[in-house]
Amino acid sequence: MGGGGGGGVMSGRSAANALTKVTWFLAIAFIITSISLTVVAAQKSAGSSVFDRLGNAPVAQETAPALPDAESLLPPSASDATPLVPSAD
């Protein structure tokens, strides 16, 4: 076991390759972009609120769906001539 440095198999930390460096660069660029867009969006909406914009929109009237006929929801009575199970005819 030589006394060299670097990122060998037996070391606790491997050497950073090009893919690792690109991944770090893209992660930092993503964070900077996200923070920048947050600041820009906050500056553009500083004078208004979401609730202020909702107050100007017309309110849609909700209509209840038509209820089915109550007779069609009941099971068949015992006096009906129809069978309770499907037939093989």
Read off the pLDDT of residues 57-85 as tens digits, 9 standing for 90 and up: 666 677 777 777 776 777 767 676 666 67
Domain boundaries in the chain? 16-41
pLDDT tens digits for range 15-53: 678 889 999 999 999 999 999 999 988 888 767 776 766
For 15-59, give the DSSP string: PP-HHHHHHHHHHHHHHHHHHHHHHHHHHHTTT--HHHHHHTSPP
Q: Which residues of 21-34 are buried (b: 16+ CB within 10 A; e: fewer)?
A: eeeeeeeeeeeeee
